[in-house]
Structure 1
Amino acid sequence: MVLGPRSVLGVGCARHRASRLAILCVASLLGIGPSLLHATATYDCLIEPMQMVELGAPVSGLLERVTVKRGDRVTRNQVLASLESHAEQAGADLAHYKSQLVGPAQLAQSKIEFSSRKFARRRDMAAEKLMSKQDSDDAEAELKQAQAEQVVAKENREVARLEYVQQSSQLNLRTIRSPFDGVVVDQMMWPGEIFEPGATKHAVLKLAQLNPLRVRVVLPMRAFGEPALGMDAKVAPEILPNTTYSAKVSSIDRIIDAASGTFVVFLDLPNPKLDMPSGVKCKTTFGNTAK
């Protein structure tokens, strides 16, 4: 009996009892490419925070208050802690008051109006030979001096405004704010302690961004080139093995670790309700590229 091509391949596949060789043989028989086989493979992964930062201040001072505690959810730009800043606040208030002064400008404007009328009268009298030319020149000089005083008043007010901006910036350096929406992971300092940048305790709080989460997937070298940016993936966390979450490929390592023969792919896993903790092992299955 003459066997057809598929029958011959089927007989050849039957000789391979090892599961991987049998799968490859059947794939060749059915015309399935290697990428489709990898689409059903499961890889180990780890769920991590998108970012974790330690927050402090760029200046030294007495830690006056901390408004959050470990486990609290925080929002972007929320005030988390502040250093003692009474002197800096007083300096900012003084600079703000100076920037609002209008008296010098009004005084200069009044001098300009008076000097203008005085100069006009003396100029006309000098033209009619009723007053010496010197008196007219003196009145003109007074007018120009009043105009210069008005310019100085405006410049001083602008300088005061810039001083207020500077003092406010110095004051803001003593306030610690959240750089993103996240969760307080740890508190390293408490009110009453002296904070010094670069010291042993160089941070007051530690924050983690948990939405989205970052999934670290370690892939073998043979899979390099198959994952693509935007590709869909299913993540099954260790604490909920029967539940899967949708994620997308956000970053792919371009350097393969020679010692282990692996590379890392990062996924973005949405976590708006923060119901998924970080630091959990998981399993990942890749799908098709997102359109």
Structure 2
Amino acid sequence: MNMCIKALGLWGIILLLTGCGDKKAGQQQQGPPPPTPVTAVKASRENAVYFDQFPANVTAVKEVELRPQVAGYITGMHFQEGSRVRRGQKLYSIDQQQYQASYDQAIANLNATKANLVRAQKDAERYNTLAQQDAVARQLVDNAQATLASAEQQVAAAQANVRQVQTTLRYTTIYAPFDGTIGISQVRLGAAVTPGQTLLNTISSDDPIAVDISVDESQISRFTQLQRRPAAPRDSLFTLELPNGNLYSYPGTIQTIDRAVDPQTGTLRVRLNFPNPEGQLKAGLNGNVRVKNNTGSQQLLIPYKAVTEQMSEYFVYVVGDSSKVTQKKVTLGTRISDKVIVKDGLTEGDLVVTEGTQKIREGAVVKVN
């Protein structure tokens, strides 16, 4: 019995020693993991021409609401809605019968005062002649002079009244204040209108047309310099992206920069002018203005796919000595097609991993394909 137990124990020890030997041999055979295959490119400096985009709103350079200055009924509409109108073109007529009657009465009053003035002048001349011959009392001469002065004032008042009534009569016809496009009429024939309240229509200029953008206060100096820059023929410094994604055919120029920064948003309004000969741009349309940004110097560029984002920070893997990778934090600039500007964190010539980043970690050994 004791011999069997001893034999079993000895056999177990042999098996244990054999297992440990096999494990050590397996560990010796496994060795370090092979390098991870990746693709990498060198960070290089290139000419960086790109476009900054700003939300934009199309607006008229000139726009006016047409409102009547006299009360009455609309008796005429002398235009086609939505059409081009010329400065001075007749647009609306308001019933002018009462205003014409007032004008006629004012003219009659003016003629009456002029007749009184003529009589007063003759009386004054007659009394002055008699006074020189001491044939009339001085008081009568003074009365004649006073009557003449009063008649002159009455004529002046009557003339002022004629001008006022004439102006009111002229207000019964509404003319286009400038060249532009007139909208859909807000009133129809026979409608009663109130001075200064009733909206008749709106006219806006449309060639050129304005496009407003808001820029950050940090870019004021840049846009001030762009405004001073003389526009070259076919200059595409400012282009407009339409709501359908297409680019507008004509480039724009800066018309004006607003006088002050909005303290609520920290932005400044910039107004650009765009030619609009075909009337394609309409006031109220939204789009994006693309501002060409050519720094004039070369920028450090890498493929955008090399960048990984972690907690709103950006990192890349750089292949260093002994083919080991190091993760570096970078500050990015504008994305240009499939590349991106690196403002800080890399130097020219750094070998940046572009493919295979998901298979590597800090300090991993890689094989660049």
- Give the TM-score of the pair, scaled to structure 1: 0.67
* Number of residue pairs matched by the alignment: 241
Per-residue CA deviation, residues 109-136 of structure 1 (Å, 9 max, x unaligned), is 2222322333333x2xxxxxxxxxxxx5
Q: How far, CA to CA, are the matches of 1:72 and 1:120 in structure 2?
A: 73
Q: 1:81 aligns with which of 74, 78, 92?
A: 92
For the pair shown, which has the larger CA radius of gyration, 1 or 2?
Answer: 2
Q: 1:234 aligns with which of 231, 238, 244?
A: 238
Mapping of residues 127-276 of structure 1, within 5 Å: 136=135, 138-196=136-194, 202-219=198-215, 223-228=219-224, 229-230=227-228, 233-236=237-240, 238=242, 241=247, 243-252=249-258, 254-255=261-262, 258=265, 264-271=269-276, 273=277, 275-276=279-280
Q: 2:118 aligns with which of 82, 106, 110?
A: 106
In the TM superposition, what is the alpha-carbon distance from 1:154 to its structure 2 partner?
A: 0.9
Identical-residue share of aligned pairs (%): 19
Q: Which amino acid aligns with 2:290?
A: T
Q: 1:216 to 1:223 in 2, by over 3 A?
A: same
Q: 2:45 aligns with which of 17, 26, 51?
A: 26
Alpha-carbon RMSD across the aligned residues, in angstroms, is 3.5
Q: How far, CA to CA, are the matches of 2:45 and 2:111 in structure 1?
A: 83
Q: Which has the higher helix share?
A: 1
| Residue pair 1:76, 1:178 contacting (<8 A) in 2 also | yes
Q: How far, CA to CA, are the matches of 1:77 and 1:157 in structure 2?
A: 33
SS at match of 2:162: helix
**Is structure 2 residue 80 aligned with structure 1 residue 69?**
yes
Q: How far, CA to CA, are the matches of 2:131 and 2:62 in structure 1?
A: 71
Q: How far, CA to CA, are the matches of 2:81 and 2:170 in structure 1?
A: 24
| Residue pair 2:55, 2:286 contacting (<8 A) in 1 also | no
Per-residue CA deviation, residues 245-280 of structure 1 (Å, 9 max, x unaligned), is 24224124612764xx86542112344x45443236
Q: How far, CA to CA, are the matches of 2:139 and 2:97 in structure 1?
A: 47
Q: How far, CA to CA, are the matches of 1:146 and 1:193 in structure 2?
A: 54
Q: Which amino acid aligns with 2:124?
A: I
| Residue pair 1:98, 1:161 contacting (<8 A) in 2 also | no
Q: Which has the higher strand share?
A: 2
| Structure 1 unaligned residues grouped into runs of 5+ | 1-12, 17-24, 124-135
Q: How far, CA to CA, are the matches of 1:90 and 1:274 in structure 2?
A: 46
Q: How far, CA to CA, are the matches of 2:287 and 2:264 in structure 1?
A: 21
In the TM superposition, what is the alpha-carbon distance from 1:143 to its structure 2 partner?
A: 2.5
